[in-house]
Amino acid sequence: MKVILCGLGGMGRHWLRTIQASSDVQAAALVEVDAAVARQCAADFGLDAGLIYPSLEAALAAIQADGVIDVTPPAAHKAISFAALEAGLPVLSEKPLAGTREDARAIVEKSRQTGVLHMVAQNYRYSPLAQTVKQVLEGGELGAVGAVAVRFFKGPHFGGFREDMPYPLIIDMAIHHFDLMRFFLEANPVRVTGHSWNPAWSWYKGDASAAVLAAFDNGTQVNYTGSWCSQGQETSWNADWRFECAEGVLLVEQDTVTVQRMTGIADRGGLRMVQNAPPVTVPLVTMERQAQVYLLHEFYEAVTQGRMPGTPCQDNIHTVEMVFDVVQAFQHG
């Protein structure tokens, strides 16, 4: 299968390496609007500079392909998606589906009108950690999930579009955690409230810290606290999670999964207290393919065998709606 890869920045290069390592997918063309970035990428990867086009339209006019992989900044996603879908080419887009709610909805509508597949790369779902959490929850040994507490603290100095965009923590990063909430709970949010702020030392223009409360349609309550300008004691990129369940607790801390089951209630110093079994560390599941490698293979199977991927835009729009509902809660209370 031949694809056109759009955007050769940090993540585009990661996708290029993923494509080069694949036996199923080849890059028929690359697209990059910044000529200096294109030249540097051609030099670093030993590519023929003629393979890199200045726009998707120019690439589409020059070569035949079976799909488009969009790794441009969010503001460019709608134009790339429209050009690809109107040309009949399926799209695998980096998250977020688009930079605004309106653009995201327009892409879903364009995919419906054209009948062409559009899927979103939510790679955090396809890690051994996320798959292990999902397996424990599905196994049912802890009973129903009542509430979830999520903590995310990191301090990356990326430079580039993230430092200028509004609400970078929520729109660029927490979108992964919100998508994981939907994946783990198999539910969608129905009500969100929250506050955002930007600490005095923040190097972002937009608010880089936030607290969010979300109620899901199966009754589960989630609280999310995060900062993208933390100065120490970072969590992992996956965040730390505590699932409060009917029969115990599932913890994810620094990418280690632990379960503790309740065994009964007993008298402790005159107080009737919950009794717990010792905490048990859950070994992570093994996966043949992870993250972008998984997604590229899933895209390949969707295009060549008509298999429905896990994150088509029609489903991913719920993650995007949550992101922009949270932003609206910050703005309007």
Would you count residue 98 as binding ligand NAD (CB under 6 A)?
no
Q: Which is nearer to ligand NAD, 226 or 248 (CB)?
A: 226
Stretch that binds ligand NAD, among 10-18, 20-28, 109-117, 211-219 (CB under 6 A): 10-18
Would you count residue 6 as binding ligand NAD (CB under 6 A)?
yes
Report the distance separating Cα 245 and Cα 249, nearest Å.
6
Burial class for 312, CB neighbours closer than 10 Å (0-12, 13-18, 19+):
middle
What is the number of alpha carbons within 13 Å of residue 36 lying toward its C-beta?
0
Q: Please report the beta strands in the chain, taking only residues with DSSP state E, as ranges in sequence order.
A: 2-6, 26-31, 52-53, 67-70, 91-94, 118-121, 145-153, 189-197, 209-216, 221-227, 240-245, 248-253, 256-268, 271-276, 280-282
Would you count residue 325 as binding ligand NAD (CB under 6 A)?
no
Would you count residue 19 as binding ligand NAD (CB under 6 A)?
no
Would you count residue 66 as binding ligand NAD (CB under 6 A)?
no
| Minimum CB–partner distance for residue 286 and ligand NAD (Å) | 21
Q: Give the burial string for 121-138 (b: 16+ CB within 10 Å, else e).
A: bbbbbbbebbbbbbebbe
In three-state secondary structure terms, 174 is: helix
Would you count residue 146 as binding ligand NAD (CB under 6 A)?
no
Q: Which is nearer to ligand NAD, 94 or 207 (CB)?
A: 94
**Is residue 186 within 8 Å of 205, Cβ to Cβ?**
no
Q: Which is nearer to ligand NAD, 6 or 245 (CB)?
A: 6
Q: Which is nearer to ligand NAD, 34 or 217 (CB)?
A: 34
Would you count residue 51 as binding ligand NAD (CB under 6 A)?
no
Rule CB under 6 A: choose which of 16, 59, 67, 172 binds ligand NAD.
172
Would you count residue 45 as binding ligand NAD (CB under 6 A)?
no
Would you count residue 31 as binding ligand NAD (CB under 6 A)?
yes
Would you count residue 33 as binding ligand NAD (CB under 6 A)?
yes
Q: For residue 60, give both structure tokens.
A: 């589409």
Q: For residue 179, give both structure tokens.
A: 């998508």
| Minimum CB–partner distance for residue 295 and ligand NAD (Å) | 9
Would you count residue 316 as binding ligand NAD (CB under 6 A)?
no
What is the number of alpha carbons within 13 Å of residue 322 lying toward its C-beta?
29
Q: Which is nearer to ligand NAD, 29 or 80 (CB)?
A: 80
Would you count residue 8 as binding ligand NAD (CB under 6 A)?
yes
What's the Cα-to-Cα distance from 93 to each of 15, 71, 82, 222, 328, rounded to whole Å? 11, 7, 12, 27, 24
In angstroms, how far is CA 84 from the centroid of its own chain?
A: 22
Rule CB under 6 A: choose which of 28, 52, 69, 76 binds ligand NAD.
76
Would you count residue 74 as binding ligand NAD (CB under 6 A)?
yes
Would you count residue 12 as binding ligand NAD (CB under 6 A)?
yes
Binding site for ligand NAD (CB under 6 A): 6-12, 31-34, 37, 71-74, 76, 80, 94-95, 121, 123, 160-161, 172
